[in-house]
Chain A
Amino acid sequence: MTKPEQNAEQIPDGGVIATDPADRSLWPLWEVFVRSSRGLSHVHAGSLHAPDASMALRNARDLYTRRNEGTSIWVVPTAEIAASDPDSKGGYFESAQGKAYRHATYYTQSEGVPHL
């Protein structure tokens, strides 16, 4: 766990008011993931502010599952999520491109042969 947050108007290291909203609000930001039914993955539903994890879960229930949308909820502090850089899209995901042989449709000789 990182150092506890001191107060609402904290000034982060470096003396600059954070531009990240998660650092500025009285209650931190959480990302909400909902499992819509057994057998399916949790899927990102949205975000919300809450003082701690248990309140984040309660709020997520009220906000994202008012109509039986979920059987399970995860909440994750937004600040704890590491993400790939959207600008490096080309380079970062390049190795998956040009490799059609990773897909079944690449193999055509078996056309017409049953169950293959």
Chain B
Amino acid sequence: MSTQSPTLHPVEETAATEQISEDARAAADEARVGWERFEQLIAEDKRVEPRDWMPDNYRKTLVRQVSQHAHSEIIGMQPEGNWITRAPSLKRKAVLMAKVQDEAGHGLYLYSAAETLGTPRDELYEQLYTGKAKYSSIFNYPARTWADIGAIGWLVDGAAITNQVPLCRASYGPYGRSMVRICKEESFHQRQGWEILYSLSHGTEEQKQMAQNAVDRFYGPALQMFGPPDDESPNSRQSMAWNIKRFSNDELRQRFVDMIVPQAEALGLRLPDPELKWNEERGHYDYGDLDWDEFFSVVKGNGPLNHQRLAHYRAARDNGAWVREAAAAYAAKQQQTEYDAALLAA
């Protein structure tokens, strides 16, 4: 049987006030010892595990971040899932199906990690279902052409990888471990996307144009996946102090830009940013301002597909309800049969 936290047990009728204050003191002691141990783990850059004491804010921050991450993987299946039936060849179809299935898996790894923090799975699903939870804004943009599937793999998964590699060292053990698993799988996602664009950019003039349009559409939103600029992202400082986040939004964005410039050159496509140029002094590429008004508007729910993405998720969940219930009912019945048989045998 599972253990319950002591505070959930009703206080015995006979318990005197002194008992309560003793409990309160014991709880305070536990918190103090826990706090010291937590601080030490963080200072030594060690991992915090599910049953360790941790500050409420640390737990809340992680539940929010990990579940948002999980929701993003789940919603992220939609733009690409849309193209499975229209993939241009059987090989491309098989590849895309494998990728979308991976994203479902990523969502499940992350939900498992979030759940170890004490929020039940069904509650996490409910938060997405009711629209209370956020997910990465990028998935509110449509995949209009087959080239967009290439741009999503190359740029969206590419940005995700840049963000996720340092998260493999996140201070919360289960989160870091799920990121390790995810990162191993992501590299194929980015390469297959890049190859789709490579085929198109080496095809007909029309195909090359289609690839260029896709890159034009996804470049800005992909750069915004790292979140707002550092001076407008007050929470990341705390996340970095807790060793959840290892690099700031702008640092990661810069790393990504530096990475994709030569990749775009190898594709023979141009990145839609007139200010993009090598800065000898900094040893990095300079890039132009991004449209943050658009970003915050999409976050608030006004993106091209916010409504559709959620409606699709709800429909999928509603339509699958009978399957989940039937499986649970079957399992309960089997267990009852076993239980009865054991009683009879006794």
A residues with CB within 8 A of B:
1-8, 14-16, 18-27, 29, 46-49, 51-52, 55, 62-63, 66-67, 79, 83, 85-87
Residue in B112, B118, B122, B330 whose CB lies within 8 Å of A46 = B112
Please determine whether B328 and A8 come into contact, CB atoms closer than 8 angstroms: yes
Which residues of chain A are within 8 angstroms of B49 by Cβ–Cβ distance? Answer: 86
Residue in A18, A26, A27, A47 whose CB lies within 8 Å of B2 = A18
Residue in B3, B8, B109 whose CB lies within 8 Å of A16 = B8
Q: Given the interface contacts A1-B338, A8-B328, A25-B122, does A66 sit within 8 Å of B4 by beta carbon?
A: no
Q: Given the interface contacts A26-B122, A29-B115, does A1 sit within 8 Å of B5 by beta carbon?
A: no
The number of inter-chain residue pairs (CB within 8 angstroms) is 99
Which residues of chain A are within 8 angstroms of B30 by Cβ–Cβ distance? Answer: 87
Please determine whether B112 and A47 come into contact, CB atoms closer than 8 angstroms: yes
Q: Given the interface contacts A5-B335, A23-B2, does A51 sit within 8 Å of B327 by beta carbon?
A: yes
Closest residue of chain B to A32 (Cβ to Cβ) is B112
Please determine whether A21 and B327 come into contact, CB atoms closer than 8 angstroms: no
Does more than half of chain A's interface fall in helix, strand or loop, or is it mixed? Answer: loop
Residue in B112, B120, B123, B328 whose CB lies within 8 Å of A48 = B112
Does more than half of chain B's interface fall in helix, strand or loop, or is it mixed? Answer: helix
State in angstroms the CA–CA spacing of A36 and B5 once bound together.
Answer: 36
Determine the interface band of chain B, counting residues with CB < 8 A from chain A: 35 or more
Which residues of chain B are within 8 angstroms of A79 by Cβ–Cβ distance? Answer: 1-2
B241 at the interface (CB under 8 A from A): no
Which residues of chain B are within 8 angstroms of A86 by Cβ–Cβ distance? Answer: 49, 51-52
State in angstroms the CA–CA spacing of A49 and B325 once bound together.
Answer: 13
B152-182 vs A, CB cutoff 8 Å, 1 = contact: the mask equals: 0000000000000000000000000110010
Please determine whether B4 and A20 come into contact, CB atoms closer than 8 angstroms: yes
Please determine whether A25 and B8 come into contact, CB atoms closer than 8 angstroms: no
B99-117 vs A, CB cutoff 8 Å, 1 = contact: the mask equals: 0011001001100100100
